[in-house]
Chains A and B, each alone.
Chain A
Amino acid sequence: MSKDTSKAPRRGRTQWGDLAVRWSFMLPTIVLLILVLAYPIWYTIEISFSSFDMMTFGAGEWVGWENYAWVVDDYRFWESLWVTLVYLIWALPIQIILGFGIAYMINAPWRGRGLLRALFIIPMVVAPVVAGGIWRMLLDPIWGVINWVFGLVGLGPFDWFGDPNLAMATIVIIDTWRWTPFIVLIATAALLALPRDVFEAAKIDGAGRWATLWSVALPLLAPVIAATFVIRWLGAVKMFDIVLASTLGGPGKSTSVINLFIYEEAFRSLNFAESAAMAMIVLVLTMLLTGVFLIGSRKLETMH
């Protein structure tokens, strides 16, 4: 008993020292995170509930939900959300299926596989604005190489940026070109990590190529596919650089994704408070949908 009491304070002191050391290591990171992450978020929240004061470039008078009401009433906001949704519905499945499909195919050992993998990285290291520019040139209705190729087989010319439906397709194509390699990389890593003997067991059990893919490979890859989906989903919601560099949201508003709209509202129309409110709505929507998706995919996983 007496032993315990004599020991306790010493242990307490070392714990305090330990704690101090730990926090002192974390402090720089914490300060940095507050500066670059917490403060901007707070700033956005603050001005979304205020009128924007151009003089101080900060929150002016508190206006409550007024900005939000303005945004919700604005049909252009809903249109942009719809455009983003259409883009997501096309781009994500295409990229995931292409990414995993290509990974599945180049996973088989063959000559030149390494070179191909290296080539796959290129789109990822190209700046999005440059990617948009490159594709603008390739797809140019008059000078572009792609229309020329289509012309050779008697098709076209297509107005890639002028036709509303084609413009959306163009955005999806550019985004897919840019992001599929990333998914290929993740999928390749996932495929390499799959247990080999399970596939051998499937071979011995008499599963053919399709049965193996469908009953063994896909279920085993499901968690990775779900994770990739979330990563791409989050990336795609905030996409606007490609649009900015290629179609600028046009023609009309047909490719004006939500982030482009927010950007234009803020920096062209100078409606900072309203665009902050939009950003908050998009943030909350994204978080909600991501949560629903994660819970759903976990359910699916345990069900399967």
Chain B
Amino acid sequence: MSTLDIKDVHKAYGSVQVIHGITLNIKDGEFVALVGPSGCGKSTLLRMIAGLEEVTQGEIDIGEREVTDLPPKARDIAMVFQNYALYPHMTVRDNMGFALKQRRTPKSEIRQRVDEAAKILGLEDLLTRKPRALSGGQRQRVAMGRAIVRNPNVFLFDEPLSNLDAKLRVQMRSEIKELHQRLGTTTVYVTHDQIEAMTLADRVVVMNGGVIEQEGPPLELYDHPKSVFVAAFIGSPPMNFFEGTVEQGNVLRLEDGTQLQLPVSDPKGRTEITVGVRPEHFELADTGWPATVSVVEATGSETQITARLAGKMIRVLVRGRTDVQAGQDIHLTVKPELIHMFDPAPIPDVALEEDH
């Protein structure tokens, strides 16, 4: 176990810079999730930590040791790949023991450590099988087993669950969490799925365009996103945004002229702002922002309402059930402490990427 310090790291392919100076200090035993849309540089950063990608500029330290120019094997890290990357011609036991064998660990010790890891992951009965005779979830577990037998300083996960179906993904997610609680190994976990990041990590790092957009504990990002990007990325279903100009202190005038009463005025006193409201923070009321319901989807525990406000699609999430019908006119209010105000910025399409 060990700390991991990333100091002003840059990465460029030729003249194209993809990572623009990232600094991140990860504490011993911390679980950090790197999250962001595809192309944001999160996987590149992970691969630089692993040593699979050269660092163009900057420094990476594991523990007290600088590893920036060391090959992967000298870094004492273990990595779980998106496509598992198991050795197809080896049994589960040989897959898990391969790293130890390379280090010339005595056979009896390899055996014992593989057995231990297999027990933790429930792989005892599969040790003699080949990867192709395993299901996706089992392969993922073997890949994790291969990582834990080495007892490394740092675990790196590169979108490990994205090839699994939804149900298995949720199950493996809790297994990874449990594993981390049990082993307490410093972990960096890359994902494009904000829910994975939120549920697993002690700290979430939202990346965008090769820089860190915001980092912090999951709920802090949810409660206090600093930008439209983070606000749009964290939370599901995603936040609703309203772009407009502020008039008379607390009236938001949208592009088409619709005026919305804000529960509070902008503390920063901007005139051009983007207002954000999470679907679950809208409340149905008799007065407030007028909207017309287009779709009502009830799942039992909650009801999602899609409505039109000033020609724009918005989402409203209501706990339990509601008697609102499609076509009905409704009014929405928000508590003053739950409304978000941002500098105007393009709203990313992250909501569309959520499931693929």
Chain B residues with CB under 8 A of A159? none
Q: What total count of A-B pairs have CB within 8 Å? A: 64
Closest chain-A Cβ to B12's Cβ sits at a distance in Å of: 18
Binds B, one of A3-11, A174-182, A205-213: A205-213
Of the residues A201, A203, A219, A222, contact of B71 by C-beta under 8 Å:
A203
Closest chain-A Cβ to B154's Cβ sits at a distance in Å of: 11
Residue A215 lies at the interface, judged by CB distance under 8 Å to chain B: yes
Residue A198 lies at the interface, judged by CB distance under 8 Å to chain B: yes
B 59-100 binary contact with A (CB < 8 Å = 1; else 0) = 000000000000111000111011101111100000000110
Contact assessment for B81 and A201 in the assembled complex, using a CB-CB cutoff below 8 Å: yes
Residue B120 lies at the interface, judged by CB distance under 8 Å to chain A: no
Chain B residues with CB under 8 A of A208? 102
Chain B residues with CB under 8 A of A202? 87, 98
Chain A residues with CB under 8 A of B82? 197
Given that A201-B79, A201-B81 are contacting pairs, would A206 and B73 also be in contact in the complex, using a CB cutoff of 8 Å?
yes
Chain B residue nearest in CB terms to A216: B87
Given that A197-B83, A204-B78 are contacting pairs, would A220 and B50 also be in contact in the complex, using a CB cutoff of 8 Å?
no
Chain B residues with CB under 8 A of A198? 85-88
Please provide the chain B residues from 174 to 198 with a CB less than 8 Å away from any CB of chain A in the complex: none
Residue A22 lies at the interface, judged by CB distance under 8 Å to chain B: no
Residue A112 lies at the interface, judged by CB distance under 8 Å to chain B: no
For the side of the interface on B, what is the size category?
20 to 34
Contact assessment for B102 and A211 in the assembled complex, using a CB-CB cutoff below 8 Å: yes
Residue B52 lies at the interface, judged by CB distance under 8 Å to chain A: yes
Bound together, the chains give a CA A202 to CA B86 distance in angstroms of: 9
Chain B residues with CB under 8 A of A207? 73, 98, 102
Chain A residues with CB under 8 A of B52? 200, 203-204
Bound together, the chains give a CA A137 to CA B215 distance in angstroms of: 74
Bound together, the chains give a CA A219 to CA B77 distance in angstroms of: 25
For the side of the interface on A, what is the size category?
20 to 34
Bound together, the chains give a CA A301 to CA B83 distance in angstroms of: 22
Contact assessment for A206 and B99 in the assembled complex, using a CB-CB cutoff below 8 Å: yes
Bound together, the chains give a CA A222 to CA B88 distance in angstroms of: 12
Bound together, the chains give a CA A216 to CA B102 distance in angstroms of: 12
Please provide the chain A residues from 189 to 233 with a CB less than 8 Å away from any CB of chain B in the complex: 195, 197-198, 200-208, 211, 215-216, 219-220, 222
B 37-68 binary contact with A (CB < 8 Å = 1; else 0) = 00000000000001110000000000000000
Bound together, the chains give a CA A100 to CA B81 distance in angstroms of: 28
Residue A304 lies at the interface, judged by CB distance under 8 Å to chain B: yes
Chain A residues with CB under 8 A of B312? none
Contact assessment for A197 and B102 in the assembled complex, using a CB-CB cutoff below 8 Å: no
Residue B167 lies at the interface, judged by CB distance under 8 Å to chain A: no
A 278-304 binary contact with B (CB < 8 Å = 1; else 0) = 000000000000000000000001001
Chain A residues with CB under 8 A of B50? 200, 204
Closest chain-B Cβ to A219's Cβ sits at a distance in Å of: 4
Closest chain-B Cβ to A79's Cβ sits at a distance in Å of: 42
Bound together, the chains give a CA A222 to CA B87 distance in angstroms of: 13
Chain B residue nearest in CB terms to A203: B72
Closest chain-A Cβ to B348's Cβ sits at a distance in Å of: 28
Chain A residues with CB under 8 A of B146? 201, 205
Please provide the chain A residues from 87 to 117 with a CB less than 8 Å away from any CB of chain B in the complex: none
Of the residues B51, B73, B88, B89, contact of A205 by C-beta under 8 Å:
B73
Chain B residues with CB under 8 A of A203? 51-52, 71-73
Contact assessment for B73 and A204 in the assembled complex, using a CB-CB cutoff below 8 Å: yes
Closest chain-A Cβ to B119's Cβ sits at a distance in Å of: 21
Chain A residue nearest in CB terms to B74: A206
Chain A residues with CB under 8 A of B102? 205-208, 211
Chain B residue nearest in CB terms to A208: B102
Contact assessment for B99 and A220 in the assembled complex, using a CB-CB cutoff below 8 Å: no
Closest chain-B Cβ to A203's Cβ sits at a distance in Å of: 5
Contact assessment for B89 and A204 in the assembled complex, using a CB-CB cutoff below 8 Å: no
Closest chain-B Cβ to A99's Cβ sits at a distance in Å of: 21
Given that A203-B73, A205-B99, A205-B102 are contacting pairs, would A219 and B78 also be in contact in the complex, using a CB cutoff of 8 Å?
no
Chain A residue nearest in CB terms to B81: A197
Given that A204-B50, A206-B73 are contacting pairs, would A304 and B89 also be in contact in the complex, using a CB cutoff of 8 Å?
yes
Closest chain-B Cβ to A214's Cβ sits at a distance in Å of: 12
Closest chain-A Cβ to B239's Cβ sits at a distance in Å of: 35
B interface with A by C-beta (< 8 Å): 50-52, 71-73, 77-79, 81-83, 85-89, 98-99, 102-103, 146, 150
Give me 29 A-to-B residue pairs in the complex whose CB atoms sit less than 8 angstroms apart, sorted by A's number.
Answer: A197-B82, A197-B83, A198-B86, A198-B88, A200-B50, A200-B72, A200-B79, A200-B81, A201-B86, A201-B87, A202-B98, A203-B51, A203-B52, A203-B72, A204-B51, A204-B72, A204-B77, A205-B98, A205-B99, A205-B102, A206-B72, A206-B73, A206-B99, A206-B103, A207-B73, A207-B102, A211-B102, A216-B87, A219-B89
Q: A200-B85, A208-B102, A220-B89 are in contact. List 20 more A-B contacts (CB 8 A).
A: A195-B83, A197-B81, A197-B82, A197-B85, A198-B85, A200-B81, A201-B79, A201-B81, A201-B146, A203-B73, A204-B50, A204-B51, A204-B79, A204-B99, A205-B73, A206-B72, A215-B87, A219-B87, A222-B89, A301-B89
A interface with B by C-beta (< 8 Å): 195, 197-198, 200-208, 211, 215-216, 219-220, 222, 301, 304
